[in-house]
Structure 1
Amino acid sequence: MSAIVPKQHYARATAMGSIQVFSANIFAPALAGVLYYRIGFERILILDLITFLLAISSLLIVKIPQPRQNQVESQNRENIWQRLTMGCRYLFKYPGLMAILIFLLSSNLFGSASMALVSTSILARSGNDGTVLAGVQSAMGIGGLVGATVLSIWGGFNRRINGLLLGVGLQNIGQILLGLGRGHLIWSIAAFGAAFASPFKGSSNQAIWLSKVKPDIQGRVFATRYLIAQITTPIGAVIAGPLADRFFEPAMMREGALAGIFGGVFGTGTGAGIAMAYTLFSCCGLSLALIGYTLPILRNVEDTVPDYDRS
């Protein structure tokens, strides 16, 4: 992206990707339901293949500048071990980028844990009403679409780190309200707000990396970054379910150990423990964003790490 998009538009361009994702989340399920009865599953697969080929074909008409020849020759002189470790070596060279990576690593842990519980929490507290869950998920998709559209028009904060930290903080505030809520309306409003903030987090983060890492090494650095940042995602999802089922749910039953303390906040009975666990994980995510603002190495990353076109 950095080879074809001006630096000041990185956040806008990345937000457009979020528009595509959230649009698909809103319209694809409904479209699939209509097409399934109209043309059948086999023709849906054929249609999917055609749209995939159209998407790939669009790349043929886009001119993407290639790395300069001296950069390519330099890469060819590297051995396989140097190529494999290049991403890690680059990250360790810049503590500010490592600080972002550690922040994302921690945020993804709590984010994946809370996301693993949101659907279960809503179903448990709505009497397994799939219509309520669908409504909340629709509100979430619309919120993400609106947020991404606003960001693509506005362009985001001048200091991208504010977009990252505020995005994480506001998203978790929305999730906390969702966990505390006990009705369809508050769940939908909270889900909309949480999803609205999500594109600000992702687009601002990507804009920072695109402006700091040279285009000819972005592939390896970004692959390393993604691998490390996502390590905690499955861990959060794995621990959330057993923790909610075996500790929080029993503790929040009418005679449970935590019912007397938190029963007035979350209620008691089925789903109260899951809602409490979901809210707790979201509170941890909010705390990370607040802590991030107190750390100069993270808060000032755009000043301490030079842009690739100025280094």
Structure 2
Amino acid sequence: MRTFIFLWLGQLASSVGSSMTYFALNLWVWQQTQSATAIALILVFYQLPQIAISPLSGLLADRVSRKRLLILSDTASACCTVAVGILAALQILQLWHVYLIAAVVGSFGNIQALTYSTLIPLIVPKQHHTRASSMGTMVGYGANIFSPALAGLLYPQIGLLGITLIDMSTFAIAMLTLLITPIPAIVNRYQDTQKQQFTLQTTPQKIENVEETKRNIWHEVTFGFRYIASQPSLLAMVVAMSVFAFLHQVSETLCQPMILARTGGDTQILGLVVAVSGLGGVVGAIALSIWGGFRRRLAGILAGFIGTGFSYLMLGLGRLSGLWATARFGSSFHNPLVMSSYMAVWYAKVAPKYQGRVFAADYLVGIVIESTAGLSAGLLADRILEPALQSGGWLAVYLGGWIGTGPGSGMALLITMSAMGMVLIGIMGFTVRQLREAETLIVDHDSIGR
């Protein structure tokens, strides 16, 4: 665990700077547009390129030095961050610049996140996989404790350029820890398992047929999807997580614009709520690291679904900053339980030499789901529910007493509906036989994907 903790500390430092930049960009976009859709599009453009690049990221993670991939992806993302600061300093930053840079950062961020997820089985003993995964989720939440307050305080004084310079200093810390951390390689992981893994048709040592080469590459790219599809229990887990992720992303997308709308753009209240959210994630991750999680990982996943749903229900129905902060604490507190339990199952069932491609397939499904959810949430809130819950709107008569009327009420309604769905998915999951079998599944790695 010592090697992982050292690397983790560098990632935590970098995450503080990145979170400050992201929070400042949200404030800038809200000031320019007053639109939930405009804010949601930052995440959408961040995720869309990953749909195309995820399968290739999986191949890279299994074939190329994972340390080199982390260095490359982190450096590219840092260059994009600097570009934001320079454009802002020159006063020529526009909304399309933000979206374009988000797309580039998303592409390299995909490589970084996928590669990082495959490191845990290489440098952490099996009995500590859940703890390591929970510490991984702590990175973003830990940064959220300090970043919103720092960004809210410094943004009016130093602008986006100053924020991005702080981001660069934290990036330097992360890069230093990465450079000096030994990361073991999987020796001959591709050459030694090529025939077992892909069951290629009989071909000469040097393939001269271009069409057959294309078929072989396609076979590799789709390996992760075939791996998952061949195991009904793992497929059921992906479906359950996808439904939850859609509903969760709807609520996550609308949380900050709802608070800004209902408080008249009060960044101090938003900063407080985001900071408490980060605290909830850290407390949840620490508690899980000490406890170790449920022995039955499925129970951890579904309990996390239910707890997250009830927390967002409080967020949607609440109208006071104290309730919002409590709700965000609760939703973040349960996130490490969901993700760590989920990943612990995958670490146990997928051999390290296959994890890049299999995790990439699962990650790609998540990206498509979350991108669709984010865009749908913004459009539905801005164009339908917000007007409907204004004073005199067609929904205000029926739901105004529960949700309220005025700015932010339509977003609150959508968060409430999504929260109820999360609770329902968690309860129903205990009755699905395929999910219950996921933890007892014994996988014949060499026969999958044939």
* Fold match by TM threshold 0.5: yes
Contact 1:22–1:142 (CA under 8 A) maintained in structure 2: yes
Correspondence for 1:180 among 317, 323, 330: 317
Aligned partner letter, 2:224: G
Question: CA deviation digits over 1:42-101, x for unaligned, max 9?
Answer: 864652452232132143x34456466743674597432321121111111111111111
User: 1:306 and 2:446 equivalent?
Assistant: no
**1:146 maps to amino acid:** V
The match for 2:229 among 92, 103, 108 is 92
Matched to 2:333, the amino acid is F
Looking at structure 1, the residues matched to 403 and 279 of structure 2 have their Cα atoms a distance apart, in angstroms, of 27
Choose from 295, 298, 310 the match for 1:158: 295
- Could you tell me how far 1:193 is from its partner in structure 2? 0.8
Q: Does 1:22 align with 2:141?
A: yes
Asked if 1:238 corresponds to 2:375, the answer is: yes
Q: Are positions 1:229 and 2:395 aligned together?
A: no
Deviations 1:202-252 (A, max 9, x none): 111110100011111111111111111221111111111221122222222
Distance 1:242 1:214 in 2: 41
Report the alpha carbon displacement of residue 105 of structure 1 after superposing the two structures with TM: 1.8
Q: Work out the number of aligned pairs and report it.
A: 307
Aligned equivalent of 2:10: none
Shift in Å at residue 30 of structure 1?
Answer: 5.0
* 1:27 Cα deviation from its structure 2 partner: 2.8
- Alpha-carbon distance in 2 for matches of 1:93, 1:247: 41
Among 54, 57, 75, the alignment partner of 2:179 is 57
- Name whichever of 245-254 and 172-181 sits farther off: 245-254
Map 1:139-288 onto structure 2 (within 5 A).
Answer: 139-288=276-425
1:112 & 1:18 partners in 2: Cα distance?
16
Q: Is contact 2:245-2:370 (8 Å) kept?
A: yes
Q: Which amino acid is 1:7 matched to?
A: K
**Contact in 2 for aligned 1:105/1:230 (Cα 8 Å):** no
Letter of the 1:284 partner, please give it: G
Separation in 2, partners of 1:259, 1:45: 44
CA distance in 2, matches of 1:18, 1:215: 20
- Give 3-state SS (helix, strand or coil) of 1:2's partner: helix
1:131 equivalenced with 2:273 (yes/no) = no
Structure 1 residue identity aligned to 2:172 = I
- Tell me the secondary structure at the aligned position of residue 123 of structure 2: coil
Q: Which moved more, 1:268-277 or 1:220-229?
A: 268-277
Contact 2:149/2:272, CA 8 A, preserved across alignment: no
Q: Aligned partner of 1:155: which letter?
A: G
In structure 2, relative to structure 1, the CA distance for the partners of 1:285 and 1:67 (3 Å cut) is: farther
Cα distance in 1 for residues equivalent to 2:254 and 2:354: 37
Check conservation: 1:4, 1:65, Cα contact below 8 A: no
The residue identity in structure 2 corresponding to 1:249 is E
Q: Distance in 2 between matches of 1:46 and 1:242?
A: 34
| Unaligned runs of at least 5 residues, structure 2 | 1-119, 201-215
> Which deviates the most, 100-109 or 155-164?
100-109
Give 3-state SS (helix, strand or coil) of 1:127's partner: coil
CA distance in 2, matches of 1:95, 1:21: 32
* 2:148–2:275 Cα contact (<8 Å) kept: no
- Residues 261 and 76 (structure 1 numbering): CA distance in 2 closer, same or farther, change over 3 Å? closer
Distance in 1 (CA, whole Å) between partners of 2:167 and 2:128 is 36
CA distance in 2, matches of 1:140, 1:265: 24
CA distance in 1 between counterparts of 2:198 and 2:434 reads 34
Matches of 2:198 and 2:244 in 1, distance apart?
A: 36
Decide whether the 8 Å contact of 2:228 with 2:234 is kept in 1. Answer: yes
Percent identity reads: 37
Distance 1:12 1:238 in 2: 33
1:2 paired residue number: 121
- Residues 1:27 and 1:55: Cα distance change in structure 2 (over 3 Å): farther
Q: Give secondary structure in 2 for the equivalent of 1:231.
A: helix
Q: Aligned partners of 2:221 and 2:129: how far apart in 1?
A: 27
Q: What are the ranges of 5 or more consecutive residues in structure 1 without an aligned counterpart?
A: none
2:162 & 2:387 partners in 1: Cα distance? 45
CA distance in structure 1 between the partners assigned to 2:296 and 2:267 by the alignment: 41
